[in-house]
Structure 1
């Protein structure tokens, strides 16, 4: 039985994780989502949307650094970026570290998530919403990509899981429109859940991206607060060289930026594209 001071994640029907609520900070339904924010002694502040952990204060850097810097350093010449989702501001914070980026467009469906994260997770965005390069648009990601006339060097889909309004960002139609709005040699990346427990969703993404990109693969990370093991990010590009970057070249590129990271480095970058055999078997069989 669930105790009064615990919270149970409900992403999966037959398994899940519990967190002790040391202090409840916020619990309410926005226009689009059911949101709870609470303090936990291990993870710090935790935000869950629709009963699924979205971000925590103490391990967010792993997710945000890898979803941002892997494609940015792989490409090397990113000027114009589209972030879809990402209302907590973590991806935006990491993107803003790159001084050569000229324009950032961010599309988030729920303004309440942005405002809540500014209040309860200020270190996620670190005032990145004030960056003059940013154009913030409150809209559904699929609708935006269907109607915009702009093209981008990099599209980062930092969506919730494929439930509720998040479903739109896992449709074949969404991937097709993203491909059409990338410049030559552009890169598309997206969070794709924990492979062991969301294998079917990952395989569907793989099949759909294969329709539109020459080089389709996943790269992996481990985030302690995301239950079930290894998480994967989807990768789509027409330039196969981007996902096969040399460690020495990456180290040189990173050094030139004078940026420092808590998780990301050149060896982590290259090794993240090597997947366990059970994943490779599942993708090959698809």
Structure 2
């Protein structure tokens, strides 16, 4: 781990050749280069401490709930009685923390590729994981998440795919071949959730991921949430053989939250459950058009960008 740097800078994240955003940082608190990726913890005036991986923002202290609450609670409340859960990725601990809030939950397996992500999050992002790594119900499995699911004989009530973007080695976790493995690892009525990119700047990719899910699961419900740290409207999806979030009323969602003591959520509620699932016409049109599912071996190269990913623009003066 290198020594921290000081001084204001703009962390620039270019999402496509035509679109991106910047965030002012005041300190580089920690930095590590593992065998798999480049990990940074930066201090920001707006979001507090934030984690970046390979130049892309992953999570922050102040806005993590925009991502973690929809990813975890919409499928968990739809299921109604999650006891055994699996997270693939999720090394920041935010998804694990939200699952571990359920008093009847017995076991969460966290299958994370990179130990360095967990170590950095444990030390620098306690406001995100909130002690999840020390909960006796959490079981860490370091290594390739797909390999874990391929060899795992256990089945789960809920699987959360908390992954990096579908480029490079991560493509293997976005194919319908992988989703078939996830389906096998789910109990009857089990639920799967994942992010599916943005309809704003990666609409084609979002459509292909959703098409891949629909080729495997009987119920696939995309939903939307703006995530400030990602700079755009973000897509997620829930998939299952029979559990359907559209059949759970707002009143029932709130009743299930109250029964489980989940009274301190910042975003997810009965009202937002259905608001996120209510897709605008342009997204419905995007996802109703023909799209090719993603198969093992497909090459999904990210569009070339005008700036190096995650470039830091120093502020002078």
For normalisation by structure 1, the TM-score amounts to 0.95
SS in 1 for 2:227: coil
8 Å contact kept, 2:92–2:122: yes
Across the aligned residues of Structure 1 and Structure 2, the Cα RMSD in angstroms comes to: 1.5
Counterparts of 1:174-189 in structure 2 under 5 Å? 174-189=178-193
Matching of residue 122 in structure 1 with residue 126 in structure 2: yes
Please say if 1:33 is aligned against 2:37. yes
Does the CA contact (< 8 Å) of 2:71 and 2:194 recur in 1? yes
Aligned to 1:204: 208
Query: Which TM-score applies when normalising by structure 2?
Result: 0.86
Give the distance between the partners of 2:127 and 2:9, measured in 1 at CA: 26
Aligned mates of 1:27, 1:138 — CA distance in 2: 20
TM-superposed CA distance for 1:245, in Å, is 0.7
For residues 246 and 162 of structure 2, the distance between their equivalents in structure 1, rounded to whole angstroms, comes to 20
Unaligned runs of 5+ in 2: 1-6, 291-317
Match of 1:258 in 2: 261
Shift in CA distance, 11/52, structure 1 to aligned 2, threshold 3 Å: farther
- Residue number in structure 1 paired with 2:271: 267
Q: In structure 2, what is the Cα distance between the partners aligned to 1:276 and 1:71?
A: 21
Which of 1 and 2 has higher RCO (CA within 8 Å, sep 6+)? 2
Q: CA deviation at 1:240?
A: 4.9
**C-alpha distance in structure 2 between counterparts of 1:279 and 1:244, whole Å:** 21
How many residue pairs were aligned? Answer: 283
Question: Unaligned stretches of 5+ in structure 1?
Answer: none
- Give the distance between the partners of 1:4 and 1:152, measured in 2 at CA: 45
Distance 1:4 1:257, change over 3 A: closer
Q: What residue number does 1:150 align with? A: 154
CA contact (8 A) 2:60 2:128 kept: no
How far apart, in 2, do the equivalents of 1:60 and 1:241 lie? Answer: 25
Partner residue of 2:240 out of 234, 237, 240: 237
Report the Cα offset of residue 59 of structure 1.
0.3
Cα distance in 2 for partners of 1:252, 1:172 equals 35
CA distance in 2, matches of 1:4, 1:45: 14
Q: Structure 1 residues 240 and 186 mapped into 2: Cα distance closer, same or farther (>3 Å)?
A: closer
